[in-house]
Structure 1
Amino acid sequence: MRPTHLCLAVLVTAAWGVNFTVIEIGLDHFPPLLFSALRFLAAALPAVFFVGRPKVAWKWILGVGLALGVAKFGLLFVGMDAGMPAGLSSLVLQIQAVFTALIAFAVLGERPTRVRLLGMAVALCGVGVAAVDEGTGGPLGAFVLVIAAAVCWGVSNVLIRKASPPDSLNFMVWVSTVPVVPLLLLSLLTEGPSADLAALRALDWQGIGVIMYVAWVTTVFGFGVWGWLLRRHPASTVAPFSLLVPVFGMSSAALFLGEPVSNLRWCAAALLVGGVALTSLAPASTASPGGVRTEGVPDSAERPAVNV
């Protein structure tokens, strides 16, 4: 990978990691579901008029929009609003790699190798350590919401795998059109019109900047550059950079929000990142023409899951 491409990969993962700190700041300005709706609205408009027509069937756009946009991000924003720290959220959310592998096994018949099973076990141990750490200083309910968000992210990863979009930016912009109305309706039902109107009336430049960051920097720029890198390098070369996301997430939360990082959290980080690395980067099982699955054969169609 060229030095410029290397810098771009690190820049994107840094943007995705810092995104959790920006979300935490945004939750001081907006109710969580309204915030998520505004994020997708800003990501979709006006970009949807410039990326061209969708390049995959609408069923995949709708499916990913609901699983990723409504379920995953709705649960994540609500969980963080309920007290889940930004840095810990960036770390725990990476357990999506385990859920992706389990759902792919159940739905697609992708049998995990022994190395991937070991990675899942190590990552789950990391989640257990993180739960113990959070249980000593924060609400476990918020922790569970972020775990549920990771499950929904795993579902969306499998849907994206089935859709196989040829242009990730085009796909994500069109996916961003789907969650806006459902999230707005959920916000009106659960957060109330008065809370939503109060947040919109109090909108200031910091609130606008937060929305633009989570929409344009993490979605439009992030997915655009990530897809560009994947078209020029093997997924196995690009994928390891996604493991930097919780590093930047925890560091930025500690730097800008003053979140403490306990010894237990460092232990959880080591276990989770190591387990996700084994789960995500180990060679996948593949199916032979006769239907026999073999281990140790890399899947060239596989794409790493990333934050948006």
Structure 2
Amino acid sequence: GITLTQTVFTVGVGLTTAANTALVYSTSPVWGMLLGFALGLERPRLAGILGICLSLVGVGFIVYGGLDFAGTSLVGDALILAAAVFWGSYTVLSLGLLERYPPISLAAYSMILGGLVAFPLSLLDPHTLDPAAIDATTWTAAAYSMLFSSAFGFAAWGWGVSRAGANRVLIYQYLVTLIGVSAGIVLLGESFGPGQLIGAAVIVAGVYLAKR
């Protein structure tokens, strides 16, 4: 779950905007709910089905609103959508493990095993990495990602899922959306067009309906 999510997410975010990334990734609660339906963990409801459909329409608005003729943004958005599916599924499937292992242990094991799987994949990348050419800002960003986004973030997420359940915790994915969109606009100077605005509203409405 972590290997697939992080690999696909990292590639995708380099091909689209931070705002689109945050918005499309916010559909992960929908995919978690859909898996819950499939596994019999949650009974299908009309509101849930309508919410899933509405969220997909919202993603369509975002992708169309940021579409470029080169297709780069479209590929990036598609990869982020795949990462959202993986993350929503991982959250639901981790419930059984969280009943047997502490959240911090599960996070540690997941990252270690994920790293072992991801390392051979990294060797397939034709680009070479020269640590001496990386500036201090990039190293700081990498350290922040490892300590807070990964180590603390996964442990805290697992703790929340073990206490409140997957569906309730997945709702807080929207804090990530809010921060991601705001950071993209303020720090990176990204534009936020009508398509993205409509898509954001439709996705929020869809997940709200699905979780009622």
Normalising by structure 1, what TM-score? 0.60
Query: Which residue in 1 is equivalent to 2:184?
Result: 253
Q: State which structure, 1 or 2, has the greater radius of gyration over its C-alpha atoms.
A: 1
Q: CA deviation at 1:143?
A: 1.5
Cα RMSD of the aligned pairs, angstroms, is 2.6
For residue 84 of structure 2, what is the aligned residue in structure 1?
150
| Counterpart in the other structure of 2:175 | 244
d(CA) in 1 for partners of 2:27 and 2:164? 25
Gap runs ≥5 in structure 2: none
Give the drift of 1:259.
Answer: 0.7
Q: 1:164 to 1:173 in 2, by over 3 A?
A: same
**Which position in structure 2 is the counterpart of 1:298?**
none
The offset of 1:76, in angstroms, is 0.9
SS of corresponding position for 1:180:
helix
SS at match of 2:128: helix
SS across alignment from 1:179:
helix
Of 163, 172, 175, which aligns to 2:97?
163
Q: 1:92 aligns with which of 24, 34, 39?
A: 24
Structure 1 residue 205 corresponds to structure 2 residue 136: yes
Is the Cα contact below 8 Å between 2:32 and 2:167 reproduced in 1?
no
1:24-103 map, 5 Å: 67=1, 69-81=2-14, 83-103=15-35
Task: Report how far residue 177 of structure 1 moved.
Answer: 0.4
- Kindly provide the amino acid, as one letter, of the partner of residue 152 in structure 1: F
Letter in 1 for 2:31: F
CA distance in 2, matches of 1:78, 1:211: 15
The residue identity in structure 1 corresponding to 2:102 is D
Query: Mapping of 1:1-308 within 5 angstroms?
Result: 67=1, 69-81=2-14, 83-108=15-40, 110-136=42-68, 139-165=73-99, 167-189=102-124, 191-192=125-126, 195-198=127-130, 200-225=131-156, 240-279=171-210, 281-282=211-212
Sequence identity, in percent?
28
**AA in 2 matched with 1:266:** L
State the Cα deviation string for residues 77-122 of structure 1 (Å, max 9, x = none): 11122x2111110110121222222222223353222222222122
Provide, for residues 42-88 of structure 1, a one-character-per-residue CA deviation record: whole Å limited to 9, x for no partner: xxxxxxxxxxxxxxxxxxxxxxxxx2x2211111111122x211111
Aligned residues: 209
Which residue identity lines up with residue 79 of structure 1 in the other structure?
G
- Aligned pair in 2 of structure 1 residues 164, 277: CA closer, same or farther (>3 Å)? farther
Q: Which stretch has the larger CA shift, 250-259 or 96-105?
A: 96-105
Q: How many angstroms does 1:230 deviate by?
A: 6.8
The question of whether the paired residues in 2 share the 8 Å contact of 1:94 and 1:276 is answered with no
In 2, the alpha carbon distance for the partners of 1:145 and 1:236 equals: 23
- Higher relative contact order structure (alpha carbons within 8 Å, sequence separation ≥ 6): 2
Q: Give the deviation of 1:220 after TM superposition.
A: 2.8
Instruction: Structure 1: give runs of 5+ residues left out of the alignment.
Output: 1-66, 283-308
Q: 1:236, CA displacement in angstroms?
A: 8.2
Q: Given residue 89 of structure 1, which amino acid in structure 2 is its aligned partner?
A: T
